[in-house]
Chains A and B, each alone.
Chain A
Amino acid sequence: MFKGRDIVSIKELSREDMEIVFEVAREMIPIARGERKSDLLEGKILATLFFEPSTRTKLSFEAAMHRLGGSVIGFSNPSATSISKGETLADTVRVMDSYSDVIVIRHPYEGSARLAAEFADNPVINGGDGAGQHPTQTLLDLFTIHQEFGDIQGLKVALIGDLKYGRTVHSLAYALSYLGAEIYLVSPELLRMPGHIIRELKNKPVETDKIEDVIEDMDVFYVTRIQKERFPDPTEYKKVAGSYTINKELLERAKKSSIVMHPLPRVNEIDVDVDYTEHARYFQQAFNGVPVRMALLALVLGVV
Protein backbone atom coordinates (compact mmCIF):
# COMPACT_ATOMS: atom_id res chain seq x y z
CA MET A 1 0.00 0.00 0.00
CA PHE A 2 2.83 2.40 0.84
CA LYS A 3 5.77 0.84 -0.95
CA GLY A 4 7.17 3.17 -3.59
CA ARG A 5 4.65 5.88 -2.78
CA ASP A 6 5.39 9.62 -2.81
CA ILE A 7 4.27 11.69 0.18
CA VAL A 8 3.61 15.09 -1.38
CA SER A 9 0.37 16.37 0.12
CA ILE A 10 -1.63 15.35 3.19
CA LYS A 11 -4.73 15.34 0.99
CA GLU A 12 -3.52 12.20 -0.71
CA LEU A 13 -3.58 10.19 2.52
CA SER A 14 -6.78 8.45 3.56
CA ARG A 15 -7.89 7.87 7.14
CA GLU A 16 -6.64 4.26 6.82
CA ASP A 17 -3.25 5.45 5.54
CA MET A 18 -2.91 7.78 8.52
CA GLU A 19 -3.86 5.00 10.94
CA ILE A 20 -1.11 2.83 9.47
CA VAL A 21 1.45 5.62 9.83
CA PHE A 22 0.41 6.14 13.49
CA GLU A 23 0.58 2.44 14.23
CA VAL A 24 4.06 2.03 12.76
CA ALA A 25 5.21 5.28 14.41
CA ARG A 26 4.09 3.95 17.80
CA GLU A 27 6.24 0.87 17.31
CA MET A 28 9.17 3.10 16.37
CA ILE A 29 9.13 5.12 19.61
CA PRO A 30 11.57 2.93 21.60
CA ILE A 31 13.96 2.86 18.63
CA ALA A 32 13.63 6.64 18.20
CA ARG A 33 14.55 7.03 21.85
CA GLY A 34 17.60 4.82 21.41
CA GLU A 35 16.22 2.19 23.79
CA ARG A 36 16.19 -0.44 21.08
CA LYS A 37 18.40 -0.94 18.04
CA SER A 38 17.16 -1.52 14.51
CA ASP A 39 18.72 -2.39 11.16
CA LEU A 40 15.46 -2.15 9.24
CA LEU A 41 16.90 0.25 6.66
CA GLU A 42 20.45 -1.06 6.58
CA GLY A 43 22.00 -0.50 3.16
CA LYS A 44 19.38 2.12 2.23
CA ILE A 45 20.32 5.69 1.41
CA LEU A 46 18.19 8.78 2.04
CA ALA A 47 19.00 11.87 -0.06
CA THR A 48 18.08 15.16 1.62
CA LEU A 49 17.68 17.98 -0.90
CA PHE A 50 17.31 21.10 1.21
CA PHE A 51 17.14 24.19 -0.96
CA GLU A 52 16.09 26.20 2.08
CA PRO A 53 17.41 26.17 5.62
CA SER A 54 15.61 23.96 8.10
CA THR A 55 16.84 22.47 11.34
CA ARG A 56 14.02 20.40 12.70
CA THR A 57 12.78 18.78 9.51
CA LYS A 58 16.23 17.96 8.17
CA LEU A 59 17.73 16.73 11.43
CA SER A 60 14.72 14.65 12.41
CA PHE A 61 14.75 12.94 9.00
CA GLU A 62 18.46 12.26 9.43
CA ALA A 63 17.92 10.95 12.96
CA ALA A 64 15.07 8.76 11.67
CA MET A 65 17.26 7.25 8.94
CA HIS A 66 20.23 6.69 11.30
CA ARG A 67 18.05 5.11 13.98
CA LEU A 68 16.90 2.55 11.42
CA GLY A 69 20.44 1.72 10.33
CA GLY A 70 20.33 3.59 6.99
CA SER A 71 22.59 6.33 5.74
CA VAL A 72 22.07 9.89 4.55
CA ILE A 73 23.53 12.00 1.74
CA GLY A 74 22.47 15.47 0.73
CA PHE A 75 22.93 19.19 0.93
CA SER A 76 21.41 22.11 2.76
CA ASN A 77 23.28 24.87 1.01
CA PRO A 78 22.40 24.86 -2.67
CA SER A 79 24.81 27.72 -3.43
CA ALA A 80 27.62 25.17 -3.11
CA THR A 81 26.11 22.78 -5.67
CA SER A 82 25.51 22.67 -9.41
CA ILE A 83 22.12 24.30 -8.82
CA SER A 84 23.96 27.60 -8.49
CA LYS A 85 25.26 26.94 -12.03
CA GLY A 86 21.68 27.00 -13.27
CA GLU A 87 20.78 23.32 -13.21
CA THR A 88 17.04 22.67 -13.25
CA LEU A 89 15.37 21.05 -10.25
CA ALA A 90 14.28 18.24 -12.56
CA ASP A 91 17.92 17.39 -13.39
CA THR A 92 19.10 17.65 -9.78
CA VAL A 93 16.31 15.28 -8.75
CA ARG A 94 17.09 12.77 -11.50
CA VAL A 95 20.75 12.60 -10.46
CA MET A 96 20.11 12.41 -6.72
CA ASP A 97 17.47 9.76 -7.38
CA SER A 98 20.11 7.61 -9.03
CA TYR A 99 22.34 7.88 -5.93
CA SER A 100 19.71 6.99 -3.35
CA ASP A 101 16.62 4.97 -2.42
CA VAL A 102 14.38 7.76 -1.15
CA ILE A 103 14.41 11.56 -1.40
CA VAL A 104 13.30 14.26 1.03
CA ILE A 105 13.01 17.69 -0.54
CA ARG A 106 12.48 21.17 0.86
CA HIS A 107 12.27 23.92 -1.72
CA PRO A 108 11.13 27.55 -1.73
CA TYR A 109 8.80 27.16 -4.73
CA GLU A 110 5.32 25.74 -4.38
CA GLY A 111 4.68 22.52 -6.24
CA SER A 112 8.38 21.59 -6.33
CA ALA A 113 7.84 18.33 -4.44
CA ARG A 114 5.23 17.29 -7.01
CA LEU A 115 7.74 18.00 -9.76
CA ALA A 116 10.43 16.02 -7.92
CA ALA A 117 8.04 13.09 -7.54
CA GLU A 118 7.45 13.10 -11.28
CA PHE A 119 11.13 13.00 -12.15
CA ALA A 120 12.28 10.51 -9.51
CA ASP A 121 11.68 6.76 -9.77
CA ASN A 122 12.18 6.27 -6.04
CA PRO A 123 9.75 7.70 -3.47
CA VAL A 124 9.84 11.43 -2.75
CA ILE A 125 8.77 12.90 0.58
CA ASN A 126 7.85 16.58 0.71
CA GLY A 127 9.72 18.37 3.50
CA GLY A 128 7.94 21.66 2.79
CA ASP A 129 7.47 23.49 -0.51
CA GLY A 130 7.26 27.24 -0.09
CA ALA A 131 3.90 28.27 1.30
CA GLY A 132 2.50 24.97 0.04
CA GLN A 133 2.43 21.61 1.74
CA HIS A 134 4.38 20.12 4.64
CA PRO A 135 2.72 16.72 5.11
CA THR A 136 5.20 15.21 7.58
CA GLN A 137 4.63 18.11 9.98
CA THR A 138 0.87 17.53 9.72
CA LEU A 139 1.32 13.82 10.37
CA LEU A 140 3.44 14.39 13.46
CA ASP A 141 0.89 16.92 14.75
CA LEU A 142 -1.93 14.44 14.20
CA PHE A 143 0.12 11.64 15.75
CA THR A 144 0.68 13.75 18.87
CA ILE A 145 -3.07 14.34 19.23
CA HIS A 146 -3.84 10.71 18.43
CA GLN A 147 -1.37 9.47 21.05
CA GLU A 148 -2.99 11.68 23.64
CA PHE A 149 -6.68 11.05 22.98
CA GLY A 150 -6.75 7.79 21.03
CA ASP A 151 -9.10 9.26 18.46
CA ILE A 152 -9.41 12.58 16.67
CA GLN A 153 -13.11 12.37 15.84
CA GLY A 154 -15.15 14.80 17.93
CA LEU A 155 -12.20 16.57 19.58
CA LYS A 156 -12.38 20.33 19.92
CA VAL A 157 -9.23 21.88 18.51
CA ALA A 158 -8.37 25.59 18.56
CA LEU A 159 -5.88 26.84 15.99
CA ILE A 160 -4.39 30.04 17.37
CA GLY A 161 -2.24 32.85 16.00
CA ASP A 162 -1.22 33.44 12.40
CA LEU A 163 -3.77 31.45 10.44
CA LYS A 164 -3.21 33.38 7.24
CA TYR A 165 0.41 32.68 6.36
CA GLY A 166 1.18 29.61 8.46
CA ARG A 167 1.20 26.66 6.07
CA THR A 168 1.31 24.26 9.01
CA VAL A 169 -2.16 25.29 10.15
CA HIS A 170 -3.62 25.11 6.65
CA SER A 171 -2.74 21.45 6.14
CA LEU A 172 -3.55 20.67 9.76
CA ALA A 173 -7.00 22.28 9.57
CA TYR A 174 -7.75 20.25 6.47
CA ALA A 175 -6.61 16.97 8.04
CA LEU A 176 -8.35 17.58 11.38
CA SER A 177 -11.58 18.37 9.63
CA TYR A 178 -11.20 15.29 7.43
CA LEU A 179 -10.76 13.18 10.58
CA GLY A 180 -13.86 14.65 12.21
CA ALA A 181 -12.48 17.16 14.73
CA GLU A 182 -14.36 20.37 15.56
CA ILE A 183 -12.21 23.33 14.57
CA TYR A 184 -12.08 26.74 16.25
CA LEU A 185 -10.04 29.50 14.64
CA VAL A 186 -8.57 32.13 16.93
CA SER A 187 -6.63 34.93 15.25
CA PRO A 188 -6.39 38.69 14.87
CA GLU A 189 -8.58 40.06 12.08
CA LEU A 190 -5.52 40.66 9.88
CA LEU A 191 -4.33 37.06 10.12
CA ARG A 192 -7.56 35.13 9.62
CA MET A 193 -7.55 31.85 7.76
CA PRO A 194 -8.01 32.41 4.00
CA GLY A 195 -11.42 31.60 2.53
CA HIS A 196 -10.11 28.97 0.12
CA ILE A 197 -8.72 26.95 3.05
CA ILE A 198 -11.96 27.28 5.05
CA ARG A 199 -14.00 26.19 2.02
CA GLU A 200 -12.16 22.86 2.01
CA LEU A 201 -13.16 22.06 5.58
CA LYS A 202 -16.05 19.64 6.14
CA ASN A 203 -17.88 21.94 8.59
CA LYS A 204 -17.70 25.67 8.92
CA PRO A 205 -15.34 26.43 11.82
CA VAL A 206 -16.10 28.88 14.61
CA GLU A 207 -13.98 32.04 14.21
CA THR A 208 -13.07 34.45 16.98
CA ASP A 209 -10.33 36.90 17.84
CA LYS A 210 -10.23 36.09 21.57
CA ILE A 211 -8.65 33.06 23.21
CA GLU A 212 -10.94 33.66 26.20
CA ASP A 213 -13.93 32.69 24.04
CA VAL A 214 -12.68 29.14 23.65
CA ILE A 215 -10.41 28.52 26.64
CA GLU A 216 -12.86 26.44 28.67
CA ASP A 217 -14.02 23.96 26.03
CA MET A 218 -10.98 22.94 24.00
CA ASP A 219 -9.15 19.63 24.02
CA VAL A 220 -6.22 20.98 22.00
CA PHE A 221 -4.69 24.45 21.73
CA TYR A 222 -2.48 24.57 18.65
CA VAL A 223 -0.50 27.79 18.90
CA THR A 224 1.50 29.37 16.08
CA ARG A 225 3.91 32.26 15.93
CA ILE A 226 2.67 35.70 14.93
CA GLN A 227 5.46 37.23 12.89
CA LYS A 228 6.31 40.87 13.32
CA GLU A 229 6.89 41.40 9.60
CA ARG A 230 3.25 40.59 8.83
CA PHE A 231 2.20 43.90 10.39
CA PRO A 232 2.66 47.17 8.56
CA ASP A 233 2.68 49.01 11.88
CA PRO A 234 4.97 47.77 14.71
CA THR A 235 2.74 49.19 17.44
CA GLU A 236 -0.15 47.20 16.05
CA TYR A 237 2.00 44.07 16.22
CA LYS A 238 2.85 44.68 19.87
CA LYS A 239 -0.77 45.17 20.76
CA VAL A 240 -1.94 42.08 18.90
CA ALA A 241 0.85 39.62 19.70
CA GLY A 242 0.46 40.07 23.45
CA SER A 243 -3.18 39.10 23.40
CA TYR A 244 -2.41 35.69 21.87
CA THR A 245 -0.02 34.53 24.54
CA ILE A 246 -0.86 31.34 26.41
CA ASN A 247 0.16 31.43 30.06
CA LYS A 248 -0.33 29.34 33.16
CA GLU A 249 -3.02 31.61 34.55
CA LEU A 250 -5.12 31.36 31.40
CA LEU A 251 -4.78 27.57 31.36
CA GLU A 252 -6.24 27.32 34.85
CA ARG A 253 -9.60 27.87 33.19
CA ALA A 254 -8.99 25.17 30.58
CA LYS A 255 -9.98 21.49 30.76
CA LYS A 256 -7.53 19.48 32.86
CA SER A 257 -7.01 17.03 30.01
CA SER A 258 -6.36 19.73 27.38
CA ILE A 259 -2.98 19.95 25.69
CA VAL A 260 -0.97 22.84 24.24
CA MET A 261 0.94 22.28 21.00
CA HIS A 262 3.25 24.47 18.90
CA PRO A 263 5.24 23.60 15.74
CA LEU A 264 8.22 25.51 17.24
CA PRO A 265 10.28 27.63 17.26
CA ARG A 266 8.22 29.66 19.71
CA VAL A 267 9.09 33.21 20.63
CA ASN A 268 6.67 34.38 23.27
CA GLU A 269 3.36 32.86 22.26
CA ILE A 270 3.65 30.37 25.11
CA ASP A 271 5.01 31.45 28.48
CA VAL A 272 7.90 29.38 29.81
CA ASP A 273 5.67 28.73 32.86
CA VAL A 274 3.49 26.52 30.71
CA ASP A 275 6.43 24.14 30.06
CA TYR A 276 6.05 22.77 33.57
CA THR A 277 2.28 22.26 33.46
CA GLU A 278 0.51 19.04 32.52
CA HIS A 279 -0.78 20.78 29.39
CA ALA A 280 2.55 21.23 27.58
CA ARG A 281 3.06 18.83 24.66
CA TYR A 282 5.21 20.86 22.24
CA PHE A 283 8.49 19.15 23.08
CA GLN A 284 6.81 15.75 22.88
CA GLN A 285 5.41 16.93 19.53
CA ALA A 286 8.90 17.87 18.29
CA PHE A 287 10.25 14.46 19.36
CA ASN A 288 7.34 12.75 17.56
CA GLY A 289 8.82 14.04 14.31
CA VAL A 290 11.39 11.26 14.57
CA PRO A 291 9.14 8.17 14.98
CA VAL A 292 6.65 9.53 12.42
CA ARG A 293 9.42 10.08 9.86
CA MET A 294 10.88 6.67 10.68
CA ALA A 295 7.48 5.16 9.99
CA LEU A 296 7.17 6.99 6.66
CA LEU A 297 10.65 5.99 5.51
CA ALA A 298 10.07 2.36 6.45
CA LEU A 299 6.65 2.36 4.78
CA VAL A 300 7.63 3.94 1.47
CA LEU A 301 10.72 1.73 1.29
CA GLY A 302 8.45 -1.27 1.80
CA VAL A 303 10.22 -2.81 4.80
CA VAL A 304 7.21 -2.82 7.14
Chain B
Amino acid sequence: MEERTLKIQKIKNGIVIDHIPCGMALKVLKILNIEGDIGSTVSLVMHVKSRMGWKDVVKIEDRYLEEKEIDKIALIAPTATVNVIENYEVVKKHKVHIPDEIKGIVRCMNPRCITNQKEPIVPEFRVVSKDPVIIKCKYCEREMSSEDIIENII
Protein backbone atom coordinates (compact mmCIF):
# COMPACT_ATOMS: atom_id res chain seq x y z
CA MET B 1 0.00 0.00 0.00
CA GLU B 2 2.83 2.34 1.00
CA GLU B 3 4.62 1.59 -2.22
CA ARG B 4 1.55 2.27 -4.34
CA THR B 5 0.99 5.64 -2.78
CA LEU B 6 4.43 6.59 -3.93
CA LYS B 7 3.74 5.52 -7.49
CA ILE B 8 0.37 7.18 -7.87
CA GLN B 9 -1.06 10.01 -5.84
CA LYS B 10 -4.31 9.90 -3.93
CA ILE B 11 -7.04 11.79 -5.71
CA LYS B 12 -9.44 14.26 -4.15
CA ASN B 13 -12.57 13.52 -6.14
CA GLY B 14 -13.32 10.99 -8.83
CA ILE B 15 -13.04 7.26 -9.27
CA VAL B 16 -10.38 4.63 -8.78
CA ILE B 17 -10.74 1.45 -10.77
CA ASP B 18 -8.75 -1.11 -8.87
CA HIS B 19 -7.91 -4.81 -9.36
CA ILE B 20 -7.89 -4.59 -13.14
CA PRO B 21 -6.27 -7.75 -14.54
CA CYS B 22 -2.64 -7.07 -15.40
CA GLY B 23 -2.20 -5.50 -18.81
CA MET B 24 -5.82 -4.50 -19.28
CA ALA B 25 -5.68 -0.89 -18.02
CA LEU B 26 -5.30 0.64 -21.47
CA LYS B 27 -8.23 -1.41 -22.71
CA VAL B 28 -10.32 -0.23 -19.79
CA LEU B 29 -9.59 3.33 -20.88
CA LYS B 30 -10.56 2.43 -24.41
CA ILE B 31 -13.86 0.97 -23.22
CA LEU B 32 -14.52 4.11 -21.21
CA ASN B 33 -13.79 6.14 -24.30
CA ILE B 34 -11.00 8.00 -22.56
CA GLU B 35 -8.63 9.19 -25.22
CA GLY B 36 -7.12 12.54 -26.05
CA ASP B 37 -7.70 15.35 -23.59
CA ILE B 38 -10.83 14.65 -21.57
CA GLY B 39 -10.31 17.60 -19.24
CA SER B 40 -9.57 15.48 -16.16
CA THR B 41 -6.37 14.06 -14.81
CA VAL B 42 -6.07 10.38 -15.57
CA SER B 43 -3.38 8.28 -13.88
CA LEU B 44 -2.64 4.74 -14.78
CA VAL B 45 -0.33 2.19 -13.28
CA MET B 46 0.31 -1.17 -14.76
CA HIS B 47 1.77 -4.21 -13.12
CA VAL B 48 1.63 -3.23 -9.48
CA LYS B 49 1.83 -5.70 -6.66
CA SER B 50 -1.33 -6.57 -4.77
CA ARG B 51 -2.21 -9.20 -2.22
CA MET B 52 -3.57 -11.37 -4.99
CA GLY B 53 -0.58 -11.01 -7.32
CA TRP B 54 -0.29 -8.29 -9.94
CA LYS B 55 -2.83 -5.79 -11.13
CA ASP B 56 -3.41 -2.53 -12.99
CA VAL B 57 -5.02 0.57 -11.48
CA VAL B 58 -6.69 3.55 -13.16
CA LYS B 59 -7.58 6.81 -11.40
CA ILE B 60 -9.78 9.39 -13.03
CA GLU B 61 -10.27 12.70 -11.31
CA ASP B 62 -13.56 14.58 -11.22
CA ARG B 63 -15.47 11.99 -13.12
CA TYR B 64 -18.07 9.47 -12.01
CA LEU B 65 -19.26 6.40 -13.84
CA GLU B 66 -22.77 5.47 -14.84
CA GLU B 67 -23.81 1.87 -14.38
CA LYS B 68 -23.81 1.24 -18.12
CA GLU B 69 -20.18 2.30 -18.26
CA ILE B 70 -19.32 0.03 -15.35
CA ASP B 71 -20.90 -2.92 -17.16
CA LYS B 72 -18.57 -2.24 -20.03
CA ILE B 73 -15.54 -2.65 -17.76
CA ALA B 74 -16.82 -5.96 -16.43
CA LEU B 75 -16.65 -7.48 -19.90
CA ILE B 76 -12.86 -7.20 -20.04
CA ALA B 77 -11.92 -6.73 -16.39
CA PRO B 78 -14.35 -8.88 -14.40
CA THR B 79 -12.27 -8.65 -11.21
CA ALA B 80 -12.21 -4.84 -11.13
CA THR B 81 -13.60 -2.77 -8.29
CA VAL B 82 -14.78 0.79 -8.66
CA ASN B 83 -14.15 3.17 -5.76
CA VAL B 84 -15.90 6.49 -5.70
CA ILE B 85 -13.71 9.10 -3.99
CA GLU B 86 -14.95 12.30 -2.40
CA ASN B 87 -12.61 14.57 -0.52
CA TYR B 88 -9.88 11.87 -0.44
CA GLU B 89 -12.24 9.33 1.12
CA VAL B 90 -13.76 6.23 -0.44
CA VAL B 91 -17.50 6.91 -0.20
CA LYS B 92 -18.66 3.97 -2.30
CA LYS B 93 -16.98 0.79 -3.39
CA HIS B 94 -18.42 -1.78 -5.72
CA LYS B 95 -17.32 -4.78 -7.69
CA VAL B 96 -18.20 -4.78 -11.32
CA HIS B 97 -20.76 -7.36 -12.40
CA ILE B 98 -21.11 -8.95 -15.77
CA PRO B 99 -24.76 -8.60 -16.65
CA ASP B 100 -26.69 -11.52 -18.18
CA GLU B 101 -27.57 -9.46 -21.20
CA ILE B 102 -25.59 -6.79 -22.99
CA LYS B 103 -27.26 -4.17 -25.08
CA GLY B 104 -25.69 -1.37 -27.06
CA ILE B 105 -22.12 -1.68 -25.74
CA VAL B 106 -20.56 -4.08 -28.21
CA ARG B 107 -20.97 -4.48 -31.94
CA CYS B 108 -21.26 -8.02 -33.36
CA MET B 109 -17.96 -9.15 -34.88
CA ASN B 110 -19.74 -10.99 -37.69
CA PRO B 111 -19.74 -8.62 -40.68
CA ARG B 112 -22.66 -10.61 -42.13
CA CYS B 113 -24.81 -10.11 -39.05
CA ILE B 114 -27.98 -8.12 -39.69
CA THR B 115 -27.07 -5.81 -36.78
CA ASN B 116 -24.13 -4.54 -38.85
CA GLN B 117 -26.42 -3.41 -41.65
CA LYS B 118 -28.41 -0.20 -41.68
CA GLU B 119 -31.30 -1.44 -39.58
CA PRO B 120 -33.07 0.30 -36.70
CA ILE B 121 -31.83 -2.13 -34.04
CA VAL B 122 -29.32 -2.10 -31.21
CA PRO B 123 -26.90 -5.05 -30.98
CA GLU B 124 -27.81 -7.39 -28.14
CA PHE B 125 -25.90 -10.27 -26.60
CA ARG B 126 -26.52 -13.00 -24.07
CA VAL B 127 -23.65 -13.77 -21.70
CA VAL B 128 -23.12 -17.52 -22.08
CA SER B 129 -20.08 -17.71 -19.81
CA LYS B 130 -18.70 -15.26 -17.25
CA ASP B 131 -15.32 -16.88 -16.71
CA PRO B 132 -13.93 -16.78 -19.35
CA VAL B 133 -16.24 -14.15 -20.77
CA ILE B 134 -18.17 -15.39 -23.79
CA ILE B 135 -21.11 -13.50 -25.23
CA LYS B 136 -23.47 -14.61 -27.98
CA CYS B 137 -25.22 -12.35 -30.48
CA LYS B 138 -28.98 -12.49 -30.06
CA TYR B 139 -29.40 -12.16 -33.82
CA CYS B 140 -26.74 -14.23 -35.62
CA GLU B 141 -25.69 -16.36 -32.59
CA ARG B 142 -21.98 -15.67 -33.16
CA GLU B 143 -19.95 -16.11 -29.96
CA MET B 144 -17.34 -13.55 -28.95
CA SER B 145 -14.49 -13.80 -26.44
CA SER B 146 -13.13 -10.89 -24.39
CA GLU B 147 -10.49 -10.20 -27.07
CA ASP B 148 -13.21 -9.96 -29.70
CA ILE B 149 -15.20 -7.72 -27.38
CA ILE B 150 -12.32 -5.27 -26.96
CA GLU B 151 -12.05 -4.94 -30.74
CA ASN B 152 -15.75 -4.24 -31.07
CA ILE B 153 -16.63 -1.80 -28.32
CA ILE B 154 -19.09 0.79 -29.64
* A residues in contact (CB < 8 Å) with B: 9, 88-90, 107-112, 114-115, 118, 129-133, 196
Contacts and interface: CB of A to CB of B under 8 A. Distances in A.
Interface of B: 108, 110, 112-115, 117-121, 137-143
B139 A130 contact: no
A111 B115 contact: yes
A89 B112 contact: no
Contacts, number: 53
Contact of B140 (A88, A89, A110): A110
B121 A132 contact: no
Contact of B112 (A108, A114, A133, A196): A108
26 contacts: A88-B120, A89-B114, A90-B121, A109-B112, A109-B113, A109-B114, A109-B117, A109-B140, A110-B110, A110-B140, A111-B113, A111-B139, A111-B140, A112-B139, A114-B139, A115-B114, A115-B119, A115-B121, A115-B139, A118-B121, A129-B114, A129-B140, A130-B112, A131-B112, A132-B140, A133-B141
Contact of B139 (A88, A108, A110, A131): A110
B120 A114 contact: no
B141 A111 contact: yes
A90 B120 contact: yes
A113 to B, nearest CB: 9
A90 B119 contact: yes
A131 B137 CA distance: 14
Nearest to B120: A90
A83 B137 CA distance: 25
Contacts of B118: 88
Nearest to A131: B112
Given A9-B141, A132-B140, A110 B119 contact: no
A186 B138 CA distance: 30
B132 to A, nearest CB: 13
B138 A114 contact: yes
B26 to A, nearest CB: 29
B143 A89 contact: no
Contacts of B140: 109-111, 129-130, 132
A114 B143 contact: no
Contacts of A110: 110, 112-114, 139-142
A129 B112 CA distance: 10
Give the one of B110, B114, B115, B120 with max A CB within 10 A: B114
Contacts of B113: 109-111
